[in-house]
Amino acid sequence: MSEPAVEVKLEVKQASKEVKESENVAEKYSAMTVSKNSEMNMGDLSSAFSAVPTHKPVKKVRQSEKSNPFVEDKQEFSRFPTKAGRRSLSRSISQSSTDSYSSAASYTDSSDDETSPRDKTQVNSKGSSDFCVKNIKQAEFGRREIEIAEQDMTALISLRKRAQSEKPLAGAKIVGCTHITAQTAVLIETLVALGAQCRWTACNIYSTQNEVAAALSETGVAVFAWKGESEDDFGGALTAVSTMRILDDGGDLTHWMYKKYPNVFKKIRGIVEESVTGVHRLYQLSKAGKLCVPAMNVNDSVTKQKFDNLYCCRESILDGLKRTTDVMFGGKQVVICGYGEVGKGCCAALKALGSVVSITEIDPICALQACMDGFRVVKLNEVIRQVDVIITCTGNKNVVTRDQLDRMKNGSIVCNMGHSNTEIDVASLRTPELTWERVRSQVDHVIWPDGKRVILLAEGRLLNLSCSTVPTFVLSITATTQALALIELYNAPEGRYKQDVYLLPKKMDEYVASLHLTTFDAHLTELSDDQAKYLGLNKNGPFKPNYY
C-alpha cells in the first residue's frame, strides 16, 4: 500500500476514534438510526438524551419567567430607543436583508395595508401582546399553511416526536433571524416542542408570510416581522429580541448585536448560521479576534451544500424564470456566473431545457468541473453582446457591472441566485438617463435612451425566493440540520467549543440524511465487522472524513 493511502487510512481511523469518544448529540442520534434493522423506541431515545452532558444543569423555570421570558436580557435593550434613525444599509445591515421574497402563498388583507403594525397593539387569544405582526386575525389561515408544509417535512416532525419527551432544549432561549415562511414555522415549533423559548424576526424585509407570522404569534412565539417592513422597522424588530443562542440567516442579527449591544453579545452561548454571507461575516470576526462565542457553520455542511444549494436551486430557478418572463429557454444563450453548488443546479436545469449554457469562474477547479460537464468557460466581457440571459450565483459583489449592462442586447434578462443583492450593480442603473418600468410583480424593464430594454428580475435580489417558492422537502433537510446544531451547542460541555467557527460533525450530517431516506423507501446496506475493520470505520459511521 502506498504511503498516501496509509496516511488516509490512519486519518480515517483517528477520525472514527475521535467520534467514538465524542459525547456530542449528533452521535447519540445517529447511533439510533443508521442501521436499517434497528427500530428505536422512545425508551432508547430517552436513554440517549439522558446520557448527553450539558453545559450546566437546567434550572426549573419560575412562573414569573414563564409569563415574561427574556426579562433579564431585555434590560440591556431598554436603554435604547425602539425606532432608530435611518441608517446606511451597507454599514449596519447586509444588502441581503432587503432582498425581496414574494411568497406565492402569502395571504394579504387590503384593509391593513396602510397601517403599520408598530402603530397598533394586538392581542392573541391567550392575552399576550408580545409580538408585532401584520394582522393576528390571519392566524387560522397561517395554521393551514404550516400544516401543509408539515406533510413534506416528515423527518423534522419525526425528530420532534422522538425528542420532545426529553426536552433537550429545556431552558434554552433562542432568537431567530430568518425568512418567516410556513417551512420555517415548522422548525420554530419543533424548537418550542423541544423546550426552547423562541423570539423571531425576519432576515429579509419582504420575505415574511404574514399569515404564518400571525399563526406563530397565536401559539405564543414572539414574532416581530411582517412583509414590507421599512429599514427602521427592521432595526426595531432586531432590537425587540434578546437571546442566549442565535439562529441566523445572512448574519444580520449577529452583526446587529455585536455592533449595538456588545454586552448582550458576550453572553450568547452560540450562533448557528446557514448562509454564505453570514458565514463570511463570522470568519471575518474570528480572523480579527472579535468572535467571543462559538459558532456553527451550517452553510458548508454536506446537508446544506449538496441538497439545499444544489437540488433546491435546480428546481426553483426554472420556477422563478417561468413565472416572471414566460420565455422559451430552448436555444437561448445563457451565462451562469459561478459554478459552485448553486451554479451547478442552475446549469443542470437550463441545459435540460435546451439552453446553450456558458460559465464564468475564478476557481480553476470549478472551471474544470464545468468543462468536464460539457459547458464552455468564458469571460463575461467577451460574450456580453450575444447573451440572452445572465444568472449570478457567486455571493460576490459587482459580478455584472454597469458597463456590461450597457453593452447587453435588447430584451436580455438579468437575475441573481446568490444570497446578496449586490451581485448585479443595480444601484448604477438608478440614474436620470435610464427609465424603470414595472411590467409585473418583481419584473422591471430598464430602458436606455436609445430604446433598448434590459429585463431585471426582483431588482437583482434572490430570484427563487422573490419570484417563486422553494421545495419544502429540501428545506426540511436544512431545518433538521439547524435544529441539531442548536441542540449540540446547548448541550455541549463547557470547553468543547471555543470562540471560533465550527463545521458540523459528519455524524450529524449522516443522521439528517438517514432521517430523510424513509421518504424514498431507501434501505442502507450494512458493513460486516470484517468490512468495517478493513476500511477502518465504525459500522454506524461516520463514513466520510471531516473535510468531505
Summarize pLDDT for 441-476 with one digit per residue, the tens. 889 999 999 999 999 999 998 898 778 878 899 999
Q: Is residue 474 part of a domain?
A: no
Compute the mean pLDDT over every residue in the chain, rounded to the nearest whole number. 79
Answer for the pair 278, 254: CB distance below 8 angstroms, yes or no.
yes
CATH of the domain at 150: 3.40.50.1480
For position 8, what pLDDT does the model report? 42
pLDDT at 49 over 80: no
pLDDT at 105 over 80: no
Q: Is residue 480 part of a domain?
A: no
For position 84, what pLDDT does the model report? 38
> Which one of 250, 275, 300 terminates a domain?
300
- Average pLDDT (72-84) is 41
Same domain membership, residue 254 and residue 105: yes
Q: Is residue 100 part of a domain?
A: yes
- Average pLDDT (219-242) is 75
Same domain membership, residue 289 and residue 315: no
Same domain membership, residue 419 and residue 291: no
φ and ψ at residue 97, rounded to 5 degrees: -65, -25
pLDDT band at 137 (very low <50, low <70, confident <90, very high): very high
- DSSP collapsed to 3 states, 262-327: HHHHCCCCEEEECCHHHHHHHHHHHHCCCCCCCEEECCCCHHHHHHHHHHHHHHHHHHHHHHHHCC
pLDDT at 251 over 60: yes
Same domain membership, residue 28 and residue 109: no
Q: Is residue 365 part of a domain?
A: yes
Name the pairing type of β-strands 245-248 and 333-337. unpaired
For position 246, what pLDDT does the model report? 63
> Which one of 269, 300, 331 terminates a domain?
300
- Average pLDDT (343-370) is 97
pLDDT at 146 over 90: yes
Q: Is residue 144 part of a domain?
A: yes
Same domain membership, residue 92 and residue 28: no
Q: What percent of the chain has pLDDT over 90?
A: 49
Same domain membership, residue 221 and residue 295: yes
For position 277, what pLDDT does the model report? 73
Q: 0.85 exceeded by the pTM?
A: no
Same domain membership, residue 333 and residue 186: no
Q: Helix (H, G, I), strand (E, B), or coil: what is residue 525? A: coil
Same domain membership, residue 376 and residue 295: no
**CA pair distance 419, 435, nearest whole angstrom:** 26
- Average pLDDT (330-348) is 97
Q: Is residue 498 part of a domain?
A: no
Q: Give the residue, 436 or 41, on which the prediction is more confident.
A: 436
CATH of the domain at 365: 3.40.50.720
Same domain membership, residue 380 and residue 248: no
Answer for the pair 218, 136: CB distance below 8 angstroms, yes or no.
yes
Answer for the pair 356, 331: CB distance below 8 angstroms, yes or no.
yes
Same domain membership, residue 173 and residue 319: no
Residues of the domain holding 9: 3-55+521-535
Number of structural domains the chain divides into: 3
Same domain membership, residue 240 and residue 327: no
Summarize pLDDT for 253-266 with one digit per residue, the tens. 777 777 777 887 77
pLDDT at 2 over 60: no
> Which of 86-90, 455-459, 518-522 shows the lowest mean pLDDT across its residues?
86-90
pLDDT at 360 over 70: yes
Q: Is residue 129 part of a domain?
A: yes
> Which one of 431, 449, 467 terminates a domain?
467
Q: Is residue 514 part of a domain?
A: no
For position 316, what pLDDT does the model report? 92
Task: For the chain, give the longest Cα–Cα distance.
Answer: 74
Same domain membership, residue 83 and residue 38: no
